[in-house]
């Protein structure tokens, strides 16, 4: 942004260049903007950062947010899978429950689904590689509401 490669208009981009000025909460409305001209993205940048954007800028911003969210959901799914696998002994058919909380998971279904799918795939892959019956491992995911939303995962290992 300092080289003015992103925004086509000459603008003062100091507010968005400050560390931590682009909040996670901005990503959901950007990713969910279904308008052809991505007007919500443009409005957000104009209001929050004082930056005028053209359609190309808004498309780049949205693609960037999609990439960051996809990476975050995969990392979160891997973390959930690691917690489940670390705390579960399949031979004893124990249950394990883990939860994850964050602004993106609260408002964006795509990120939630990607996180759960990554966790389920990793748990099934681990089970099949380590002599377990991947079909015997049941991974369930749910959103639990208690003042805040949690992305939760539980695993129930049935004895084979």
| pLDDT confidence bin for 67, thresholds 50/70/90 | very high
Distances (CA, A) of 58 to 9, 27, 31, 40: 13, 12, 11, 9
Three-state secondary structure call for residue 70: helix
**CA–CA dist 31, 63 (Å, integer):** 8
Pairing of strands 148-157, 137-146: antiparallel
- pTM, rounded to two decimals: 0.70
Q: What is the pLDDT of residue 9?
A: 58
Place of tokens 């996180």: 115
Express each pLDDT in 40-66 by its tens digit: 999 999 998 888 888 999 999 999 999
Per residue in 125-154, pLDDT (tens digit) is 887 787 665 445 556 555 444 334 444 444
Query: What digits encode the pLDDT tens for the residues 26-38?
Result: 888 898 899 999 9
59 CA to centre of own chain: 19
């Amino acid at each position: 942004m300092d080289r003015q490669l992103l925004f086509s208009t000459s603008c003062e981009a100091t507010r968005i260049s400050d560390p931590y000025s682009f909040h996670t909460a901005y990503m959901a409305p950007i990713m969910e903007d279904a308008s052809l001209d991505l007007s919500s993205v443009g409005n957000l940048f104009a209001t929050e950062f004082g930056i005028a954007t053209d359609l190309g800028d808004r498309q780049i911003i949205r693609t960037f947010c999609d990439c960051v969210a996809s990476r975050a959901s995969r990392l979160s799914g891997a973390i959930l899978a690691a917690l489940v696998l670390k705390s579960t002994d399949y031979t004893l058919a124990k249950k394990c429950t883990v939860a994850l909380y964050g602004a993106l998971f609260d408002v964006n279904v795509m990120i939630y689904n990607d996180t759960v799918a990554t966790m389920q795939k990793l748990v099934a892959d681990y089970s099949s590689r380590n002599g377990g019956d991947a079909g015997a491992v049941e991974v369930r995911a749910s959103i639990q509401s208690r003042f805040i939303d949690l992305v939760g995962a539980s695993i129930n290992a049935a004895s084979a």
